[in-house]
Structure 1
Amino acid sequence: MVSTPSPSAAPGAGAAAPVAGTGPARPRWRRRPGWIPAPPLRGRRRVPWATSAAVFVLQQAGTGFAAHNERAAEAVGPDGAARLLLTLGPLLLLARYRLPRTALFGTSAVTLAYLAAGYPYGPVLLGVVVAGFAALVAGYRYATWSALGMLWLGNLLVAHAFHRLLPPGGDPPGSWGTDLFMLVWMVALCTAGELARVRRAERERRQRETAEAERRRADEERLRIARELHDVLAHSISVINVQAGVGLALLDSDPAQARTALTTIKTASKEALGEVRQVLDTLRAPGDAPRAPAPGLDRLAELSEQAASVGLRVTTETEGAPVPLPPGADLAAFRVVQEALTNVVRHSGSRTALVRIRYGAVAMELLVDDEGPATGTGPTGGGNGLVGMRERAAAFGGTVEAGPRPGGGFRVLATIPLPPEEGGAPLQ
């Protein structure tokens, strides 16, 4: 065991006084199977004018070509009623994002009416394809299957059961090959829509996970910076506060000692400004390496000297063979000791403190003891400092216990696992 007492406190220092979418969500019981939220309106067109106009032009022009290719006995020419039905479909497509089921069933009904009237086929089914695909991508799979099934069954009845009662007169039964072709493209439409829906759901899931990961990283970084600023400022300001009181008390009676206190204030404030600047530099340029190495347990002597400057005599002891720690764990250990000594200065009437570092087989223990008693000038068990200690140790799989010790005073005991390659497996 190695024992290293700090320099004695300056005379008179012990007399000093001590001192942070798019709309309401659908209720769970009303959500249809396969339902996923619609994308934000800013991410897509609110009214799909372009595609609806393209469907209108294709149906009007394609029907004219189809009428020339079919004999007059097999189909009724595209009159005004046919043109009206071919216009209603694209108009319904304008609502396929806001009212997908209405657009789907509307275009299916218009298409069935067109086929029942005996007009030439042409691209009349294009409107149903577009509306069905949009409904499937939006998650309305049952509605899509129902609408397409009713359209196919209705076409079967028109072509094979009621063809004698519908125009044109003397119309023979429809071709089963045509009915089979319609069934095939309906199955293909459902398959393509389901694939698009799954891909969209997967893309949105990845986007949500990415956004959550970014928020989590931002929260962790904000917490890390808050801990760093708290530890740096709390320790340095405590030293400055004590030394300012000493300087004021001795300004007239002992100017030399007052000058020493002011020198300590200057040193502590300069060091605090440097560490704060280092933390802020990581915010301005997160990709750059830090300009100065992070503090670690090798700077315990500086902590002892700073404590001595405010009248606290710190004794450090080391048990076991020292093991190099990763930079993050080394910084966490340093901050734990720093915060514990700061709490002694601020909240304890003791003028002595013990810092013991014990290197075990799988973990390192940090013990900080003071003899008390508490001065009652602040919280001793629930401040941000103790919370920050626990968070720092927990980040590396360790623990921190803080509370009154047997015989009086206060004890902070931190356990930080050693690297596996150095001291065995980490603590669980």
Structure 2
Amino acid sequence: MEKQSPGPARCGGPSWRQEGPPPLPRRWVRGPGDEDARAVRLPWPSTAALTVFVLAGSHFAAHVQTGRAPLDAFAHGLLVAGCGVLLVRRRHPVVAVFAASAAVMVYLGAGYPYGPVFLPVMVGCFAAVVAGCRRQAWAAIAMLWLGHLLVAHWLYRWLPPAGDGAAPWGQELGIAAWAVAIIAVAEVVRVRREQWARERAGRAAAAKRRADEERLRIARELHDVLAHSISVINVQAGVGLALLDSDPEQARTALTTIKSASKEALGEVRQVLETLRARGEAPRSPAPGLDRLPELVEQAASAGLTVETTTTGRRGTLPPGTDLAAFRIVQEALTNVVRHSAARTARVEVAYERGALVLRVDDEGPASGGDAGGSGNGLIGMRERAAALGGTIDAGPVPAGGFRVTARLPLAAEAKEDA
């Protein structure tokens, strides 16, 4: 089993884990979900630069603050230790901030000069707050401030350098303001980082939702194309087998119908799949619409079903999505008649009403009761198509016998009407 590197420490707060698309390019502040090798590398360059700066600044402060203890090997060790512990600030931010605070406390207690010695604590506190370890960072800062208060105002008599006096109280206010400023900046960065993480998670969820919707659309389209054509093929194959010996000419006609239906199905399947292979490109052939209703009637007739069609109202120019949905709903309804009904006659009514297109498909029944090999998703697919356009589907038996499917699809008020 492959051993994984430990990720950055998490002390609390929401975890926004990104799934689906690849993560966005890295920023200087990483989100909580970016747990890869780059997020857990030891920050050698920044820590080395900080160490050099602290050592140089402390030597400069030693020349200015002549009343403090001179820098010796122990002082240099404390400075290097306070900076070096920041190497683990990404994996263990709490350890880093407390260790840096402890090193600075010992440094000040030993009477060494002030200077950039507080910078390691600033960096450690910043890393802890951004990682979500807010309380621990506050506790480390409070420990350092209280320790300095104790050393500078009560223990200075027994600590080096000799003859040192109490620190002014104004200095304590300055240190407190410095600590509050560090925490405030770190909190702002933490909030901004979580906002970035939420945005990334939202974009990933939106991309996944679009992909799911596209898969559902393609599955629905393939189901409608194949269900209708294979139903016709199934019926004609049965006719051909039954008449192969007694009426070869009629069997030939059935085989011709099978060939035509399968060719049309292959063409429509190819059109659907082309939209996957060439994303963003226009399809090579127009999507089917109600202008192809005579083709459905002809295919149903080849399966032994007589279809009567009527159109009422003033026909308007339908939006492409509505036109395709109307065609597929009528296609699926006629397919269900061929599969599940013993009726040999069906009626299709297309009504252009004010603000809506109403489709009604009736058959006189009764149900055939045979296994037609359907998937059971036909009515579900019709309802999904209608719901996607804000419409409705009503399907069920009628009191006089038979089965009725009624679809109501809303039309935009500004749809143009044919003259």
Q: Deviations over 1:309-356 (max 9, x none)?
A: 110000111222222221001101110000010111111111111111
1:224 aligns with 2:229: no
Alignment CA distance shift 1:221-1:213 (3 Å): same
The equivalent position to 2:117 in structure 1, one of 110, 124, 132, is 124
* TM-fit CA distance, 1:94: 2.5
Counterpart of 1:9? Answer: none
CA RMSD of aligned residues (A): 2.6
Counterpart of 1:54? Answer: 49
* TM-fit CA distance, 1:51: 2.5
Unaligned runs of 5+ in 2: 17-31
1:50 corresponds to which letter in structure 2? P
Q: Deviations over 1:233-273 (max 9, x none)?
A: 11111111211222222233323222222221121111111
Counterpart of 2:35? Answer: 41
Of 232-241 and 184-193, more deviation after overlay is shown by 184-193
Contact 2:289 2:326 in 1 (8 A): yes
Alignment CA distance shift 1:199-1:375 (3 Å): same
Counterpart of 2:387? Answer: 394
Counterpart of 2:24? Answer: none
Alignment CA distance shift 1:99-1:379 (3 Å): farther
Counterpart of 1:65? Answer: 60
| TM alignment of 1:279-428, pairs within 5 A | 279-378=272-371, 383-422=376-415
Q: Deviations over 1:133-190 (max 9, x none)?
A: 1111112223322322332232122222222221101012224454343233222212
| TM alignment of 1:192-207, pairs within 5 A | 192-207=185-200
Alignment CA distance shift 1:35-1:310 (3 Å): closer
Counterpart of 2:28? Answer: none
Aligned-partner Cα distance in 2 for 1:347–1:162: 96
Contact 2:316 2:352 in 1 (8 A): yes
Unaligned runs of 5+ in 1: 1-20, 424-428
1:95 corresponds to which letter in structure 2? V
Contact 2:221 2:272 in 1 (8 A): yes
Alignment CA distance shift 1:380-1:358 (3 Å): farther
Contact 2:40 2:91 in 1 (8 A): no
Q: Deviations over 1:271-312 (max 9, x none)?
A: 111111111110011110111111111111110000001100
Name the SS for the 2:338 alignment partner.
helix
Counterpart of 1:141? Answer: 134
The equivalent position to 1:75 in structure 2, one of 54, 59, 68, is 68
Q: Deviations over 1:71-124 (max 9, x none)?
A: 1xx111222221222232233222222222222122112211111111122321
Alignment CA distance shift 1:90-1:395 (3 Å): same
Name the SS for the 1:62 alignment partner.
helix
Aligned-partner Cα distance in 2 for 1:80–1:280: 74
* Paired positions, count: 397
1:308 corresponds to which letter in structure 2? A
Aligned-partner Cα distance in 2 for 1:401–1:381: 20
Alignment CA distance shift 1:221-1:87 (3 Å): same
2:176 corresponds to which letter in structure 1? L
1:59 corresponds to which letter in structure 2? V
* TM-fit CA distance, 1:41: 2.3
Identity of aligned residues (%): 60
Of 359-368 and 175-184, more deviation after overlay is shown by 175-184
Contact 2:393 2:408 in 1 (8 A): yes
Of 131-140 and 242-251, more deviation after overlay is shown by 242-251
Name the SS for the 1:39 alignment partner.
coil
Counterpart of 1:14? Answer: none
* TM-fit CA distance, 1:391: 0.3
Alignment CA distance shift 1:39-1:129 (3 Å): farther
The equivalent position to 1:236 in structure 2, one of 201, 219, 229, is 229
| TM alignment of 1:146-157, pairs within 5 A | 146-157=139-150
RCO higher in structure (CA 8 A, sep ≥6): 1
* TM-fit CA distance, 1:220: 0.4
1:215 aligns with 2:220: no
Contact 1:104 1:135 in 2 (8 A): yes
1:57 corresponds to which letter in structure 2? V
* TM-fit CA distance, 1:381: 11
Aligned-partner Cα distance in 1 for 2:392–2:373: 18
2:62 corresponds to which letter in structure 1? A
Of 219-228 and 115-124, more deviation after overlay is shown by 115-124
Contact 1:315 1:354 in 2 (8 A): yes
